[in-house]
A = this chain, B = another copy of it.
Amino acid sequence: MNTPRYTPLITSLPATTPFVGPEVQERARGRAFAARLGANENVFGPSPKAIKAMQDAVPETWMYGDSASHDLREALAAHHGVTMDNIVIGAGIDGLLGSLVRMTVAQGDRVVTSAGAYPTFNYHVNGFGGELVQVPFRNDHEDPHALIAKATEVEAKLVYLANPDNPMGTWHSAEMVSDMIDRLPDGCLLVLDEAYVEFAPEGTAPPINGDDPRVIRMRTFSKAYGMAGARVGAAIGHKGLIDSFAKVRDHFGMSRISQAGALAALLDQDYLQQTLAKVATARDRISDIARTNGLMPLPSATNFVTIDCGRDGDFARAVVAEMIERDIFIRMPFTAPEDRCIRISAGTPADLDLLETTLPAALDAARNKSV
Contacts and interface: CB of A to CB of B under 8 A. Distances in A.
Given A58-B55, A250-B91, A103 B24 contact: no
Interface residues of A, number: 90
A54 interface: yes
Interface in A4-57: 4-10, 13-21, 23-24, 27, 36, 39, 41-46, 51, 54-55, 57
A92 B187 contact: no
A228 B62 contact: yes
Contacts of A98: 250
A23 B91 contact: no
A63 B41 CA distance: 6
A166 to B, nearest CB: 14
Contacts of A336: none
A230 B244 contact: no
A1 interface: yes
A226 B51 CA distance: 22
A209 to B, nearest CB: 13
A141 to B, nearest CB: 25
A340 interface: no
Contacts of A23: 66-68, 70
Given A6-B104, A45-B61, 4 more contacts: A3-B187, A4-B158, A13-B247, A39-B63
25 contacts: A2-B187, A4-B187, A4-B189, A5-B104, A5-B187, A6-B103, A10-B102, A10-B248, A15-B244, A16-B247, A18-B251, A21-B251, A23-B70, A24-B67, A36-B63, A45-B59, A45-B62, A46-B59, A62-B227, A92-B252, A94-B252, A94-B253, A95-B253, A230-B255, A230-B256
Interface of A: 1-10, 13-21, 23-24, 27, 36, 39, 41-46, 51, 54-55, 57-68, 70, 91-92, 94-95, 98, 102-106, 109, 127, 157-158, 184, 186-189, 213-214, 222, 226-231, 241, 243-244, 246-248, 250-258, 261
